[in-house]
Amino acid sequence: MGEVPLRLALGLVLSFGIGGVAYRLEALDRSGWLGAVLVGTAVFGFGGWPWAFLLLAFFISSSALTHYRAGRKAGVAREFAKGGRRDLGQALANGGVGALLALIWALSPHPTLWWAFAGSLAAVTADTWATEIGLLSPRPPRRIRDGRLVPPGTSGAISPEGTAAAGIGALGIGLLALLGSPVGGSIGDALLVGLAGLLAALFDSLLGATVQGIYWCDRCGKETERPVHRCGRRTQLVRGWPWLTNDGVNALAALAGALLAGIGAAWIG
């Protein structure tokens, strides 16, 4: 723990600067900038360079995909609870589990914690990649719970393109986790992280299709994640729990990825 205060200070400076750049590039709003500082400072301060490197891999790749063909995705994104610029809730949902694992690592380092951290980032990477690439699919997606064709952007919907992107993104995090691992490891660990991330992303979709709060706007005749639609009309809850938002679903997916990867690493280790 002796080096932690210095790393926390350096992490604060670095995350503030990186968050500022992301804010200028419209990847974050002001509250998202704060979230990036909180998560980045904790991950770097308590974990160190390998942990920060993996977090940056998720953030940079996901931000790049969000901006890829953003014009084509803009109409669908307006129905989401959040827009393209990530806010505080999204930053904490995506990075909060990882930040907590970094803190536990600083108190009592164990190899399982590293792979759990990688699993949490593989999950949120897979989910983000699936969303951003799936929105560009030429075919409508299918709802995961019943296979019904639904409009692009529907919570709980999956597409072949999005699922493939999820697998690639999760595996990429697994390979980077092996490359920068402070605890050693094998290609099996990397594959395990990739599988954990993909399964967690599918779990995210299942939650979105079943228990996430989803609303209906009578004025526009559209399903939305927003309690108040963009037209200004208050919407009606049509399924799910109103307290379980998209941020909550993302946080649960990150936790699932961490548990799957951590338990798997402990079992095969």
Cα angle for residues 16, 204, 170 (degrees, 5° grid): 65
Worst-scoring range by mean pLDDT, 117-121, 185-189, 221-225?
221-225
What residues have CB less than 8 Å from 11, skipping those under 6 apart? 40, 41, 42, 43, 44, 45, 52
pLDDT in tens, 162-199: 999 999 999 999 999 999 999 999 999 999 999 999 99
Q: Residue 244 has what DSSP assignment?
A: -
Distance CA 163, CA 178 (A): 23
Is the pLDDT confidence value at 10 over 80?
Answer: yes
Longest C-alpha distance within the chain, in Å? 59
**Chain centroid, CA 191 distance in Å:** 19
151 vs 126: which has the higher pLDDT: 126
What residues have CB less than 8 Å from 70, skipping those under 6 apart? 84
pLDDT in tens, 237-254: 989 999 999 999 999 999
What residue spans of 108-245 are helical by DSSP H?
111-134, 160-179, 187-210
pLDDT in tens, 207-220: 999 999 999 888 88
Q: Is the model's pTM score more than 0.85?
A: yes
pLDDT in tens, 92-106: 999 999 999 999 999
Distance CA 111, CA 19 (A): 29
To the nearest whole number, what is the mean pLDDT of the chain?
91
